[in-house]
Structure 1
Amino acid sequence: MHIERVSIPESAHPIISTSSKGDQSKWRIGNKWIKQDARGYESKAEVLATLILSCSTLPSNRYVQYFPCEIELPDGEITKGCYSYDFRGDLQEVTLERLFEANFTSTDSITTDKTLSTEEKFQQLSAQIESFTGLNIRQELAQLFALDALILNEDRHTNNILFLYDPKFKTWSLAPIFDNGLSLLSDEKDYAPGKPISILKRKVKAKPLNSSFSKQLSLYDGPPFIYKKQLITRLEESPFDFGRAKTVLVSQLNDPIFQKLWIEGENND
C-alpha cells in the first residue's frame, strides 16, 4: 500500500495539541490537518476508526476521515502520522467545555458529581446542551460513547466533543466525530507491546461520564449501526498494516457486550 508523504515546510509552526496523555504535534497546511504519532501508533488507531465508521450507518459527513502518512519534518526526519481535511469551513468551533463556559458553568458540575448515576449525568448533560444550542443530540452522543467503548477510546474528554456555530444564521450543529487516536491501546508507553491484550484492556479508563466503558455503552439504546461482517471482510482485505490495533479490535468484535451494535446481514453498498 502506498503511504503518502507530507513535507512540513520550515514556515509551518507546529500546533501543540494537548490530550489527557500530554502533547502531540500537528500542523495545518492548506486544508489538511497533519498529526504526528507521539506515544505509539495513534495514526493507525485513527485510520482503523475511520474504517469502522465507514462500515456503519453513519453518513460520511458525520465523521472525520483519517489517512495514514509519513511526515517529513523540516530537518529531514521522517516520522509516522495521519492527516484529515478541515471540516469547519466558515463555521466557528466550540468544544463542549467551551459551550458550558460561555454559559457561565462547567461540565464538571455534572461529570464529577458522585451522587449522580451515569444515566443521570447523561440526561443532565444532554438537557444542558439542548438548552444552550437547541440541539437534541442524545442519540448521537450515546452512539459516540458506544463507539468509544468498542475502540477503547480513553480520550473523549469534553474538549473532544465539538459543536459548530454558524454566526450568519445563528444556528448550531454537532461536529463530525474526530480525534480517535488514543484508542485500541495505541499508547505504547502505558500499554507496553508484548503484554497480554486481555490484561491491558482492563487498564483502560473511559471518559467523560464514567471510567467504565460498559456503563457508557449501556446508554445507547438505538438501532444497531455497524455492519460487522463487512467490517471483518474489509479488515482482512486491507493492505494497510494495522499491527496491534487490528488484534485489539478483533478481540473487541468477539465480545458479546457489543452484540447490540451489529447489523445482521450484509451492507449492499
Structure 2
Amino acid sequence: MKRAVLILLASVIFLVSCVYTERFDTERGRYLGESGDVLITVDVDALKKSGESALLAQNELVDRVDRVSLALSSEDDRVSVSGIANGLLSSTEVGTALIWDPSFIRASDVPKFYENKRNSLKAGVVEDGIMLFTTGDYEAEYGKLKKRESAYVPEMIWNAMSSSLAALYVESPESISIPELDIPEETISKIEEAVLMLNDTGSALSLSGTVLMDDESSARTLCTLLRNLMVQRIRREGGKLDIRALSGIFTYEDSEVRISGYTLSYDEVGSMLTKEF
C-alpha cells in the first residue's frame, strides 16, 4: 500500500506542477470527503514563505502551488484519494500537459477529464481556479464540487483550518494510522470529531486542536495516553521534563480533549509524511 500511495502522490505532484496558480476559492476544499475520511489541507504558499520548505524539497509544489486539499479514505487495505489544487488554473494548459503524457488518456468530454492508466488517477479543471483529481468517481466528485453539495467540514472549522499552515479534520473515523503515535484502535473508534492545526512558530511547528470523544471517560483515557507519549518522547530525546508546563499541552473537559502548543520540528513532520498512511 505504501508504494501505491507514493505513486499516486507523484502523479498528483505532476498535475499541479504543470500550471501556474494563485489564491482562489479555497472554500471548496471543505466539500471533499465524507464521514470517516481524513481531510488534510496545506497552505503551500505559506510554507514556502516560512523559509522552511524542506517538506516539499523533493517536488515542484514549492514553486507552483498555493494550496492543496486532500480527502483520504481507506477500505479493504486500499487508500483512495480525492483532492483539489487551488489557483488560476487554465483548462487548456492542464489538458495540453496531460494529453502529451503517455500515461494519461482523455476519459470524457462532459465533464472533461483525463485518466492515468497506471493508477486510475483522474484529473480535470472544474472551473477557473479549481483542479480536481481523484482515484474514485470523477463525475460524482465533480458534481459535488460544482453544486457545493454536502460539505464535509463545517464552515467555521474550515475557516480556522484555512488560516493554518496545515490542518486535519476527521469525523467518526474507523481507524487512523498516525506515525509516531501508538494510539489503540479502540480509542480511535471513540472519536466523534477531530480538528488538528499546525502553525509555524519561527523555529518549529506548533500543533493545536480539539478531539471530541464519545464520553468523558474516553476523553480522559486519550488525554492520559497523549501525555504519556509526550513524556516518553522527551525522555527518549534526553530533554528536560517540566511536568507543570507539559500538563497544559493536553487537557480535557467533559468529552473534549484540547491540544495546545505541542511542538514538532520540521524534520519530525517530514518523517511522518514520508511514512505509510
Length-normalised TM-score, structure 1 = 0.26
Higher relative contact order (CA closer than 8 Å, sequence separation 6+): 1
Length-normalised TM-score, structure 2 = 0.25
